[in-house]
Amino acid sequence: MYICSCHAVTDGAIRKAVKEGGIRRFRDLARATGVSTQCGICAKHAKEEFDKAIAALPAEEKAGQSAAVSAEFADEPKACAAGCVCTCGKKLDAE
């Protein structure tokens, strides 16, 4: 199923990027695939698919995410009140 129509990114492509491509941050997914980098309509759904793909990783791969990496995830873009997800790398003020 297409998640991002601007860049023809499917849910399968997101899962593959996480599982086989080693992508662990949404911003890296955006850079690699272009998802949510144009109109942004797909951002919320893309982030949900990305989160599901991360959750589906084997425990040992999740365990490979050290505390330092977890701290890095703290800088991940946050969903704003409107439900969109910023991929510019800056934290949104509204929470």
- In 3D space, the residue among 1, 16, 9, 19 whose CA is nearest the CA of residue 87 turns out to be 9
Phi, psi of 39 (to 5 degrees): -80, -25
Confirm or reject binding of residue 36 to ligand FES (CB under 6 A).
yes
Phi, psi of 56 (to 5 degrees): -85, -5
Pick the binder of ligand FES from 18, 42, 54, 85 (CB under 6 A). Answer: 42
Q: Which stretch binds ligand FES (CB under 6 A): 11-19, 29-37, 69-77, 87-95?
A: 29-37
CB of 60 to ligand FES, least distance (A): 32
Pick the binder of ligand FES from 15, 25, 32, 40 (CB under 6 A). Answer: 40
Confirm or reject binding of residue 6 to ligand FES (CB under 6 A).
yes
Q: What is the DSSP letter of 73?
A: H
Neighbours of 36 (CB within 10 A): 29
Q: Which residues bind ligand FES (CB under 6 A)?
A: 4-7, 35-42
